């Protein structure tokens, strides 16, 4: 899947976007959306963009643009949407964490693990131990 930098080119529409999700300095928060379903990713990105976030979509951190993996700590939020088995997402989450711990940047994004399937409590605990917040898409 091709990466899309979802910054609205239309300035009027950009102005109409709510500024609720900006810090006091006016900086917009950067969000990385990892989702293998392009339609779902674009719909979700649209809503997030409307709330003032700068959204970057990628299907996976491996296939993403060159250097994306290295830049993961520079994002404020990482949303990982797992449409298959939640166990598969766990491996990706580990890689994301690894990318952050090896980074020389002294920061780490907050992770949101979105699963479309029910997740057993043990797995959920493992996800939370990796520092991600878990949410099930209903």
Interaction site with other proteins (CB under 8 A)? 21, 23-24, 29, 31, 43-44, 47-48, 51, 53, 76-77, 79, 81, 100, 106-108, 110, 112, 114, 131, 133, 135-138
Taking the complex as a whole, the smallest distance from the CB of residue 132 to other proteins amounts, in Å, to: 9
Taking the complex as a whole, the smallest distance from the CB of residue 67 to other proteins amounts, in Å, to: 21
- The answer to whether 111 and 61 have CB atoms below 8 angstroms apart is no
CB closer to other proteins out of 68 and 79: 79
CB count within 10 Å of CB 122 equals: 8
Taking the complex as a whole, the smallest distance from the CB of residue 59 to other proteins amounts, in Å, to: 17
Q: How far apart are CA 41 and CA 9, in angstroms?
A: 19
């Amino acid at each position: 899947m091709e990466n899309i930098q979802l910054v609205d080119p239309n300035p009027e529409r950009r102005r109409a976007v709510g500024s609720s999700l900006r810090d006091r300095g006016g900086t917009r928060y950067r969000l990385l959306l990892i989702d293998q379903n392009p339609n779902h990713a674009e719909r979700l990105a649209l809503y997030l963009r409307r709330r003032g976030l700068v959204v970057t979509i990628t299907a996976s951190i491996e296939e993403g643009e060159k250097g994306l993996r290295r830049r993961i700590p520079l994002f404020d939020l990482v949303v990982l949407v797992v449409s298959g088995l939640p166990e598969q997402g766990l491996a990706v989450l580990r890689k994301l964490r690894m990318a952050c711990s090896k980074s020389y940047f002294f920061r780490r994004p907050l992770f949101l693990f979105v699963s479309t399937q029910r997740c057993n409590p043990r797995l959920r605990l493992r996800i939370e131990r990796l520092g991600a917040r878990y949410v099930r898409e209903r």
